[in-house]
Amino acid sequence: MKQADLVKKAQEIQAKMSEIMAQAKGEATAGGGMVTAVSNGNGTILELKIEKEVIDPQDKSMLEDLIIAAVNEARRKAQESARVEAQKIIGIPIPGLF
């Protein structure tokens, strides 16, 4: 295979990977469903829902912890989803892909 063909193939894979990352989604909750976060594979938070029952001005740190937990788990799930889809396209597992 010519070098130009390899470069073209690599560019096609990179474009597909970008698409996969943008389309992958992960959703997670914390606090028994009181906080819900949705992320894409790029780590962008697409949605954040907070039930009013968990908003307590006297316990701000608890809400902060719930938000962090939900966001981190949603991002992890989205990246895992993207990794699985990418491996389908590439055809082989790539350690440390995400």
Tally of domains in the chain: 1
Residue 61, domain member (yes or no):
yes
Residue 97, domain member (yes or no):
no
pTM: 0.81
DSSP 61-91: HHHHHHHHHHHHHHHHHHHHHHHHHHHHHHS
Residue 42, domain member (yes or no):
yes
How far, in Å, CA of 11 to CA of 19, rounded?
12
Report yes or no: 34 and 49 within 8 Å, Cβ to Cβ. Answer: no
Residue 64, domain member (yes or no):
yes
* Domain of residue 70, residue span: 3-90
Residue 24, domain member (yes or no):
yes
Report yes or no: 13 and 90 within 8 Å, Cβ to Cβ. Answer: yes
Residue 15, domain member (yes or no):
yes
Q: Please, what is the average pLDDT of the chain?
A: 90
Across the beta sheet with 35-40, the strand order is 25-30, 35-40, 45-50
35-57 pLDDT tens trace: 999 999 999 999 999 999 999 99
Residue 95, domain member (yes or no):
no
CATH number where 8 lies: 3.30.1310.10
Report yes or no: 35 and 67 within 8 Å, Cβ to Cβ. Answer: yes
Residue 96, domain member (yes or no):
no
- pLDDT tens sequence for the chain (98 residues): 688 888 888 888 888 888 999 999 999 999 999 999 999 999 999 999 999 999 999 999 999 999 999 999 999 999 999 988 888 877 766 666 55
